[in-house]
Structure 1
Amino acid sequence: MKKELPEKYYLAHFKELITFIDTQCRHLLEQKHVDFINKVNRLTEQGQCMLARIYSRKPLLVAITTLNYNEIDSPALALEELKTAQLISHPNYTDYQHVLAHLTKPVLLALLAPFDIQPSIKKSVTKAQLVAQTCDFFATKPEHLTCLYNQFVINNRFAVYEYFEFLYIGRLSTGDINHQNSFVLRDLGLRTTRENHTVSLARFDTREEAQSNYALNRYRMAFKSAQSDDEYQALAIELINQPAEGTLAVNLKNKLLLRLHQQLKKYNIELCFTLLNACENSAEATELQIREQYRQGNKEWVKIQLETIIEDPLTDDLLYFADDFLMRKFNKQTRSRLSAMLADTQCVIEIDEVYRNDVEQGVTEHYTQQGLTVFYTENTLWQSLFGLVFWRELYIDTPTPPCNEFDMFPQSLRTDCFYHTQHQKIEALLANWQTPDDLLKHVCKSAARYFEQANGLFRWHSELLRPLEVLILNSSLAALKSHLKNMTMRFMQLKDGYPDLMVLNGNKLHFEEVKAPGDKLRRNQLTTIDCLKNNGFNVHIAAVKWVNDPNRIYSVVDIETTGSLKGGNRITEIGIVKMQHGKVIDTWSTLINPQMRIPKFIVSLTGINDAMVATAPRFTEIAETLLNKLKGTIFVAHNVNFDYGFIRKECEMAGIHFKMPKLCTVVESRKAFPGLKSYSLGNLSAHFDLNLTSHHRALADASATAELLLLIKKFN
C-alpha cells in the first residue's frame, strides 16, 4: 500500500534536522549557527512551517504568491514573523539581476514596454538573451524595479541551513535538497535505511574538520558549475590554499586538485604542477607528476623519484607503476608487466564469437560443458564475504559507527582505519577459526542474523551463500584469513579488481580473469591478483580467442503476450524452432496460462483467447522444459529483446536466473539487406516469400524467423 505523507511533513523533517544539529553537533557550530537555532525555536509553528517551505526551494528568490499552503493559515503573518526574526528579507536594488532572471518572458517584455525599446527585441529572443538585455537596460535605473522587490523573499538557506544539511548528510548536492529528499523517500518507504538505528551521531570530531570538509564540498559544487578555463583557474588558485583537516577532507581535496589538473593541463602547465604538488599522500598525483616531468625531459629527477618509491611505496599500485616505468624508460624493457602478463598467459580459450557481448558467459559455458562448476564472482564474492565476516565490527561494535540511518558504507573503511582502530578484535576473530567449517558457520550465522539489513558493501539475494560456501570449503583457511586481514588493513585498495570467475574442478578451486582480444589488464586488477596469489590462491588470466563454431545450435523463439510491456503483461504462447547446420532439428510450442485476462485487441491480433489458455500450464510449470530446450543454444528472435526480456522476467518471477547469448534477426536483416522500407517480420516475409502461415502465432512466427535466419546466413 502506498504511504501518504502527513500535511506538515516538511515541518517534521525541518525539526528533525534542527534537533539533530542542536543535540549532536553543538561542538561544530559557530555563534551564528546557535543564534539561528534559537530564533527558529522561538518561532510559532506557523512561522516554522513557512521557513521550512522556503528552505525546501532551490532558487535564491521565492515568489510570495507561491507560498500558499494548507497548513499555513495566514502566509502574510508567517512571513512577517520571519522578517521580524530577521530570518528572511526582501531583495533590494542590489539584487535586481536575480529578480529579473526570475521573471517570465511576458513579464520582462511588460517591464520594458513603457520605455519604447521593444522594437529592438527580436521575437525569437531566448529567455536568457532577454534577461541579459533587460539587466543591461535597468543597470542604471534599478529604482524602476522597486515594485517588484516586495513580491519576493530571499531564500538565504545557504547562509546557515546548508551547513546543517551538510553535517547530517556529509556532502552537498546539486540535485534535490539533501536531507529533505532523503526523509521524504524514507517516509514513503522508497529509500532503504539501516534497521535498528536509534541515535544519529555527529560525523566530525572538531569544528575545524567539519568546516574544512564543508568548504571543500562548496569547491566541489563550484567545480561542477564552472564553464570556462578562467573559472577553473581561479578555482584552482583558491583551492590550493584551502586547509584540509582529516582524512576525508584530504581525499576530497586531492580529488578536486586532480580534476582541476585534468581540466587545465593544456591551459596552464605551471599551475598544473602546483596542483599536483598540493596533493597530500596521493599516489595518483605522484604518478602524474612523474609522467609530466618525464615529458618535460627531467629524466634524472624522475629516476630518483622512481627509486625512492620502490624503496618506500605509498601503495602497491604506485609500486607497480614505479617498477614498470623504471624498467621501460630506463632499462629498455619493451613491455609493461600488465601487457606481459596478458601476452604470456598459458590459458587460451577458444570461445564462439556469439559471446562477444558477454565474454564471461562464453567462458562459463565452456567450463560448464566440461563438467566444472563456475560462479561469476568478480568483486561481489569478496565484498560479501568481508561484510558478513566483519559485520559486527563494521556496523555495531565499532568506535566509528555509521552516523545516521542513511549511512551505508562504514566510515572506518572509507578512511582505511578499520584495522588500526579494531586490530585486537580482528585478530581475535581470525584466530577463533580453526577449520573452514568454523568460518562458514560464522558467515552463515551472520547472514541469518543480519539478513536484508541495508549496507554499502553488498546486496542480499537468495544465492548469496552458495559461492561463499564453495570458496570457504575449497580454499586454504590460512589463505582466507590472510586475505581477509589484508582487506581490513587496506580495504580501499582491495575492494575491487577481483577476477571475473571462480571455477571449481572437483575440489580444486581457482579464480579466472577473462580477457577478450583488445582487453587490457588494469593496474588495480594486478594489485588484487598479486594479493590473492601471495595469500595462496590460484589465479589464472584467460585469454579468449574468438572462433566461429560450425556446430552452433540456434533456438529461434517467438512469444505471444497479453501486451507489449513486460512489467504488467504475461506470456500466452511460446514457440521454438531449433536449427543446426542450416536444418531444423526440433520444434516445440505451448500455450501458457497468463493468469490474467487477454485484452480484446490482443485476441483479435493473435487469435488466442481466455478459453484457449484456461487449461494451459502456467509458466512455472513449463519453465524447466523450456530451459532444457534452450540450454547450450543461441537465443534468436525477431526483435530479440522483446522475447528474451519477457522470458527473463517470467523466470525472475519464478526465482530462476536466465541468461544466454542472443541474436536479433531485425539487426542482422538491416546489415544483410540495407535499404528496405520495413524490417517487420510480416514485411520481410512478403518481400522474401517466407512461409508465414499464421502471423502472430508463436510457432508460425518462429518458423518464418528461422527461414529468415537462413537467408541472412547465406548473404553473410
Structure 2
Amino acid sequence: MKSEPAPHSSVPGTADLDNPLYYLENFETVVRWVRQHHSDLLTDEETGLIDNLLALGQPARALLARMVMRTGELFRIEKLNYPELGQPVADAAKTLSGAGWIEGNPKIPLAEVFRLFTLAELRPALAERISAAGLPARAAKGVLKDTLIPQHPTPAPVEHWLPETPTQVIRLNHMDLFDRLRLMFFGNLRQNWSDFVLVELGHQQYEQVPLSAESRAFDERADVDCYLVMHHCRERLDQGDAPETVWQDVPPASDNPWLESRRGRLLFELGKLAERGGNTDLALTAYGQSGHREARLRQLRLLERLKRYREAWDLARAAGDNPRFSSEEQGLERIRSRLARKLGETAPQAPQRPALATFTLELDNPEGHSVEWVALEHLSEPGAPVAYVENTLINGLFGLLCWRALFAPIPGAFFHPFQTGPVDLYREDFVDRRQALFDEALGHLTSGHYKSGIRDTWQQKQGIASPFVLWPVLSEEILELALECIPARHLELVFRRLLDNLREHRSGFPDLIRFQPGHPDPNRRYEMIEVKGPGDRLQDHQTRWLEFFVSHDIPVSVCYVRWAGAAE
C-alpha cells in the first residue's frame, strides 16, 4: 500500500548559474520534489529507479541530466562534450550502463542513423546501398532517406549501418519515467526540462502557495495515466493519424475537472480535423462532448453548413441563455440572425453600439518619439498628470485586489514552488472554481475596504511574480492616483468584464490615463485615452473595451494624432 504524499515543506534551494553543474541541481530539484510530494502516484519500480539515480556518482547523474534535456533517446558518445562532469563522458556512460540507465549498443532504425550522422559520414558508409538503389553517389540527403529507409526497415546496431565509422551510439532508457516526472512537476508536457533546469530560479520571487494532497491535480495514478493517453492522442493527431483512429483511444469523460478540461481541448482539435476531412458526424460528436470555449460555435456553424437549420436553431437558443463568454455571445447573435431568416423565426435584436468620443491633435515630433509619448507630453498638465499605462494599470489593480483568489491552492492550479501564477488561468472553469473568492474580493469594492487592501498587498507582495502585476510599472505614485481618482463602481464593472474572459479581456485597454484629482465630479476624476497615429485604426478587442466603457459611463476617448506639416 502506498504511503500518503508528503506535506508541503520549505521551498527547495535554487542553483547558482556560477556553478557549472547548476543544471544538475535544478534537475534533481524536480526529481526530489516529485519523489517527495507524489510518491503515492509512483510504483515501487519507479521510486526504486529514482533512488537508484540519486545514489549514482555526480558525473553519471550530470550526464544523465544532460541527455534527458536533449531531444530523442539516441546519442553518439563522441558528440557528448561536457567537461564540467570532471570525468570522461565514456566513463560516466559506462556507469550509467551498469546501472541500467542506458543501452550500450542498441539496434536502431535507418531513419535514426540519418538523424545522428552527417551526409559526409553517410555517403561512404552507405555507398553500396546507394548504388544498389540506383541513386547517384552525390544524391541529396532527403533523396537518400526517402529511398533507402523503406528498403531497409529492420533496426540494427550502428556497426551494421556504418561498419567503418569509429563511433558509439547509446540509447537512454526510462524516458517514460522522466515524462511522468515532468508531467507531475509542471502539470503539462508542453514545458520541457530546459524550461526549468537551465533557468536561474533564484533571481525571481514566487508566491508560496500551500501544496497539499488536497490541492493536487492528480488524485490517483490513473489520472496521470489518463493525461498521458490524451497527450499521446494529441501527438498522433499532430503527426497525421486519422481522427477516426485516434477517437477510439480518447478516454471517457472524467470527474476530475482539470483532466476534463484537457479532454475538452483534445476533442475540439479532433473535431476540427474530422470536419476538415469530411467526417461531419464525428466532428459534431466531438464538438458536442467538448467543453472548449469555441466548440459550441464550431458545432453550430457546421450544422448550419449541413443545412440542419432547426437543430442548429434549438442549440443556439439554448446556448444563448447561458453563453460561455462574451465573444461567444456575439457569435451566437450572428448565427441566430442567419438561422431566423432561413426558418422564419424572430431574429434577435442587434444591440445598439454606443458612439465613441474622439478628438484630434496636430503635433510636432522632431525627435521621433512614439505617438503615445508625444500625446502624453502634450496632454499632461500640472494638475492633470497623464501616464502611459496601456494594459498594466487595470490588470495590476485587479491582480492586487484578487491576489488571494488568483493564488488559491485549487486542485490543478499549482504544481511546484516556482510558478508565476496558476496554470489553469485561462481554462474555461477558472473563475467558477474560485467564484466565492472573487466575489469576496470584489465585495471589498462596495464596502470601501478595497483601498487599504490593495495598498497592503502592494507593500507585502512587492516583487513577487504575478500574472497581472508588473511591478516596475505599477509605481506607488500611479497606484495612489488610481485609488484616489477611479471610483470603486468603475473598477467593479471593469473587473467583472475582465473575469468574463481573462485571456481576451486582459488586453485592449487604452494607452493613456489622465488623472484629475481636483475635478468636482468624482466620476470624472480620470479619463482613459486611446491614442492612434496616422494610418492606425482601432482593433476589434480595443473597440469592444471602448464601447463597454461608454455604455457604462466610464470616461474614455480616442485621440487621433496628426503630424504637423505632414501631407494629407
TM-score bracket relative to the smaller structure: 0.7 to 0.9
Does residue 135 (structure 1) correspond to residue 149 (structure 2)? The answer is yes
The match for 1:160 is: 177
The match for 2:247 is: 237
Distance, in Å, in 1 between the alignment partners of 2:186 and 2:94 is 31
1:274-319 Cα offsets, whole Å, 9 max, x none, are 4643543334111121122222222222222222123333334433
2:554 equivalent among 538, 542, 549: 538
1:459-481 Cα offsets, whole Å, 9 max, x none, are 11255444544443234334434
The match for 2:36 is: 23
The match for 1:183 is: 197
Does residue 382 (structure 1) correspond to residue 398 (structure 2)? The answer is no
1:365-419 Cα offsets, whole Å, 9 max, x none, are 8866999655554432221011112334534788887433431123574454567
Preserved CA contact (<8 Å) 1:324 1:336: no
Does residue 172 (structure 1) correspond to residue 189 (structure 2)? The answer is yes
RMSD between aligned alpha carbons?
Answer: 4.7
Preserved CA contact (<8 Å) 1:186 1:193: no
Preserved CA contact (<8 Å) 1:501 1:511: yes
- What is the one-letter code of the residue matched to 1:167? M
The match for 2:5 is: none
Taking a change above 3 Å as real, the CA distance of residues 219 and 85 of structure 1, as seen in their structure-2 partners, is same
- What is the one-letter code of the residue matched to 1:53? R
The match for 1:452 is: 463
The match for 1:36 is: 49
1:349 equivalent among 359, 364, 368: 359
1:524-571 Cα offsets, whole Å, 9 max, x none, are 964x6787678x5526575x778x77xx258xxxxxxxxxxxxxxxxx
Taking a change above 3 Å as real, the CA distance of residues 350 and 195 of structure 1, as seen in their structure-2 partners, is closer
SS across alignment from 1:159? helix
2:452 equivalent among 441, 458, 464: 441
Identical aligned residues as a percent = 17
SS across alignment from 1:62? strand
1:8 equivalent among 21, 25, 34: 21
Distance, in Å, in 2 between the alignment partners of 1:348 and 1:533 is 12
Task: Tell me by how many angstroms 1:92 deviates.
Answer: 4.3
Does residue 55 (structure 1) correspond to residue 68 (structure 2)? The answer is yes
Taking a change above 3 Å as real, the CA distance of residues 149 and 161 of structure 1, as seen in their structure-2 partners, is farther
Distance, in Å, in 2 between the alignment partners of 1:358 and 1:50 is 50
Taking a change above 3 Å as real, the CA distance of residues 68 and 397 of structure 1, as seen in their structure-2 partners, is closer
Preserved CA contact (<8 Å) 1:63 1:151: yes
Task: Tell me by how many angstroms 1:19 deviates.
Answer: 0.9
1:310 equivalent among 304, 311, 320: 320
TM-score by length of 1: 0.61
Larger radius of gyration: 1
Preserved CA contact (<8 Å) 2:106 2:169: no
- What is the one-letter code of the residue matched to 1:460? W
- Number of aligned pairs? 535
Does residue 145 (structure 1) correspond to residue 156 (structure 2)? The answer is no
2:204 equivalent among 192, 216, 219: 192
Task: Tell me by how many angstroms 1:426 deviates.
Answer: 5.5
Does residue 66 (structure 1) correspond to residue 82 (structure 2)? The answer is no
1:277 equivalent among 287, 294, 319: 287
SS across alignment from 2:75? strand
Does residue 404 (structure 1) correspond to residue 420 (structure 2)? The answer is no
Task: Tell me by how many angstroms 1:47 deviates.
Answer: 3.7
Distance, in Å, in 1 between the alignment partners of 2:453 and 2:540 is 33
- What is the one-letter code of the residue matched to 2:206? R
Range moving further from structure 2, 298-307 or 461-470: 461-470
Preserved CA contact (<8 Å) 2:527 2:557: no
Range moving further from structure 2, 287-296 or 116-125: 116-125
Does residue 321 (structure 1) correspond to residue 331 (structure 2)? The answer is yes
Distance, in Å, in 2 between the alignment partners of 1:446 and 1:520 is 34
Preserved CA contact (<8 Å) 2:97 2:103: yes
Taking a change above 3 Å as real, the CA distance of residues 421 and 60 of structure 1, as seen in their structure-2 partners, is same
Taking a change above 3 Å as real, the CA distance of residues 277 and 481 of structure 1, as seen in their structure-2 partners, is closer
Distance, in Å, in 2 between the alignment partners of 1:372 and 1:499 is 17
Task: Tell me by how many angstroms 1:210 deviates.
Answer: 3.0
1:407-460 Cα offsets, whole Å, 9 max, x none, are 11235744545675573696278348744xx53333223222222222222311
SS across alignment from 2:311? helix
The match for 1:111 is: 125
Distance, in Å, in 1 between the alignment partners of 2:209 and 2:441 is 27
Task: Tell me by how many angstroms 1:49 deviates.
Answer: 3.5
The match for 1:696 is: none
1:685-707 Cα offsets, whole Å, 9 max, x none, are xxxxxxxxxxxxxxxxxxxxxxx
Range moving further from structure 2, 291-300 or 133-142: 133-142
After TM superposition, list the pairs within 5 Å mapping 1:640-659 onto structure 2: none
Preserved CA contact (<8 Å) 2:233 2:250: no
Distance, in Å, in 1 between the alignment partners of 2:57 and 2:306 is 66
SS across alignment from 2:175? coil
Preserved CA contact (<8 Å) 1:93 1:146: no
Preserved CA contact (<8 Å) 1:55 1:157: no
- What is the one-letter code of the residue matched to 1:380? T
Taking a change above 3 Å as real, the CA distance of residues 64 and 501 of structure 1, as seen in their structure-2 partners, is same
Distance, in Å, in 2 between the alignment partners of 1:293 and 1:396 is 40
Task: Tell me by how many angstroms 1:24 deviates.
Answer: 0.7
Does residue 87 (structure 1) correspond to residue 101 (structure 2)? The answer is yes
Taking a change above 3 Å as real, the CA distance of residues 156 and 245 of structure 1, as seen in their structure-2 partners, is farther
Taking a change above 3 Å as real, the CA distance of residues 418 and 362 of structure 1, as seen in their structure-2 partners, is same
Preserved CA contact (<8 Å) 2:102 2:170: yes
The match for 1:461 is: 472
Distance, in Å, in 2 between the alignment partners of 1:27 and 1:292 is 45
Preserved CA contact (<8 Å) 1:46 1:73: yes
After TM superposition, list the pairs within 5 Å mapping 1:279-294 onto structure 2: 279-294=289-304
Task: Tell me by how many angstroms 1:43 deviates.
Answer: 3.5
Q: Which runs of 5+ in 1 are unaligned?
A: 555-712
Task: Tell me by how many angstroms 1:164 deviates.
Answer: 0.8
Distance, in Å, in 1 between the alignment partners of 2:154 and 2:515 is 79
- What is the one-letter code of the residue matched to 1:270? T
SS across alignment from 1:153? strand
Distance, in Å, in 1 between the alignment partners of 2:356 and 2:24 is 65
Task: Tell me by how many angstroms 1:497 deviates.
Answer: 5.0
TM-score by length of 2: 0.75
- What is the one-letter code of the residue matched to 2:290? E
Taking a change above 3 Å as real, the CA distance of residues 167 and 255 of structure 1, as seen in their structure-2 partners, is same
Q: Which runs of 5+ in 2 are unaligned?
A: 1-15
1:630-669 Cα offsets, whole Å, 9 max, x none, are xxxxxxxxxxxxxxxxxxxxxxxxxxxxxxxxxxxxxxxx
Larger RCO, structures 1/2 (Cα 8 Å, 6+ apart):
2
Task: Tell me by how many angstroms 1:198 deviates.
Answer: 9.6
